[in-house]
Structure 1
Amino acid sequence: MKYLLLAVGDERPWAEAGPQERHALYAEWGRFEAMLAERRAHHGGFELAPSPTATTVRKHGGQVLITDGPYAETVEQISGYVVVEAASMEEAVELAGQMPSDVHVREIAG
């Protein structure tokens, strides 16, 4: 089964991080992705642009409403995602526990 691991968190620390801090975090992500590749569990994923660059499209009463910014006005935002292959939700959660961020785990339907 495939699972979507959504990286979530406060974007401010990343925005305020210097080059060395960003390099260290990218290295953590590199180790995580190497572990997934070794287990043949990695099926793609990407870092997302900061949430203020998002456009939200909502449908309401037959109308399409477009607004600048993320869907929800919260501190925690989705910063990226990884698709993994796992035998069970428990295994997907175990993999998610090794991500260098907080994670929302969802089974991919279908």
Structure 2
Amino acid sequence: MKYMMFVVTDSQRDTVSDESDVDVWVDELDANGKRLIGEVLQAPSESRVVRVRDGKRYVTDGPFAETKEWICGFDILEVEDLDEAIEIASRHPMARNGQLELRPFMQWEETAGA
């Protein structure tokens, strides 16, 4: 199963000191084939929102969320099941310094006859 793992900043931090390093996490998952790709994203101030309404294109500066949280990166995981995805996410350093959202990819062959 493939999961998109959104890496999200968070204003709350774990009070327990964590010596984990993202590079160690990445190297381990890349070596065992569980992480297919991942990237760090620029700040929301660099993003653009694109909408088309009534045939007209609207482009605005990045999202204007009233929050201190924003997606700062992503990883695509290929795992056996949700439990394995959760276990992998819990080892990511941002689990202590942010939060991780796991979202499964749509399984089109399952929905084709629905």
Q: Calculate the TM-score normalised by the size of structure 2.
A: 0.73
Matches within 5 A, 1:1-110: 1-10=1-10, 28-70=21-63, 72-101=65-94, 102-110=99-107
Structure with more helix by fraction:
1
Following the alignment from structure 1 to structure 2, what is the Cα–Cα distance between the partners of residues 44 and 55? 23
Which structure is larger by alpha-carbon Rg, 1 or 2? 2
Q: Which residue identity is paired with 1:82?
A: D
Instruction: Return structure 1 stretches of 4+ with deviation > 2 angstroms.
Output: 58-64, 70-74
List alignment gaps of at least 5 residues for structure 2: 12-18, 108-114
Q: Indicate how the Cα distance of structure 1 residues 90 and 76 shifts in structure 2: closer, same or farther if over 3 A, else same.
A: same
